[in-house]
Structure 1
Amino acid sequence: MTTKVDKGDMETPEQEAFSLSQSAVILDQFRNDPSLLASALEKNMELWVAIRMLVSRKDNKMTVETRDNLTKLSKFVAETTMNHGVDISSETLDTLININLQISEGLLEGANKGGGKGKAGKKSCC
């Protein structure tokens, strides 16, 4: 069972953090149902492709290091999903879930430090 939350009042980093954490929960909930897991993996990959597109925009204010790290994670998530599909091992699925949760946490920490901005006033994440 998933809970619907109105994201209208959240700022962008908070929305992204919510989407990542929600995807992590859904991946975990659907791990034992191949048809639902396939859908959850696809949605998670779409989320990471969107993140990659956001960080590659020229007007993005993130640090180069942050952009590079998110791009690498996005590629890892996409490659892992495409290579394993629903035959993904529990350990690898846990890795994808943990990536989502850790990046979600980082987004929220960045949002709490100066209105979505990290060190030196630069936006900390997408």
Structure 2
Amino acid sequence: MSDTTTLSAIEEQAFQLSRAAIMLDQAKADRSKLEEALELNMAVWVALRTLITSDGCSASSQVVENLIRLANFVAEKTIAGAAAATDASIDALINVNLQISEGLLEGNKV
């Protein structure tokens, strides 16, 4: 990406969700990185939740409610911590991130 390229808030969140998914995937192989990956993922979801609940958000109330439910799911898995994380729960977080990232980008197209 060139220095003159800027991302919209939605594109930035999609990028961050993908980045967190990659970190989570890498942490499955190296569990010493899992706590950091979970923390990053939580921070991304807090930012996304803030974005979708702001006054300027044009998403439908159903989309906002669904994203809030997903944010709560992510928080629940993160609070449980790395010790409670199974490959299946990590995969669930990865899949949610990638699907929401894709959805954000699709919805952001003109």
TM-score tier, shorter chain, comes to 0.7 to 0.9
Aligned length: 109
1:46 corresponds to: 43
> Does 2:18 match 1:21?
yes
Describe the superposition over 1:24-60 as per-residue Cα deviations: whole angstroms up to 9, x where unpaired: 0111012132331110111101111111122222332
Aligned residues: percent identity?
41
Structure 1's unaligned 5+ residue stretches are: 115-126
The partner residue of 1:31 within 28, 34, 37 is 28
The Cα of 1:92 is off from its aligned counterpart by 0.7
Q: Deviations over 1:65-117 (max 9, x none)?
A: 111111110010001111242430001100000000000000111122x2xxx
TM-score, normalised with respect to structure 2: 0.88
By relative contact order (CA 8 Å, sep 6+), the higher-ranking structure is 2
Q: Distance in 2 between matches of 1:84 and 1:55?
A: 25
Contact 2:14 2:102 in 1 (8 A): yes
TM-score of the pair, normalised by structure 1: 0.77
- Counterpart residue identity of residue 59, structure 1: G
1:65 is the counterpart of 2:25: no
Q: Which runs of 4+ in 1 moved over 6 A?
A: none
Q: CA RMSD in A?
A: 1.8
More helix, by proportion:
2
Runs of at least 5 residues in structure 2 that lack an aligned partner in the other structure? none
Gap change, CA 1:64 and 1:82, over 3 Å in 2 = same
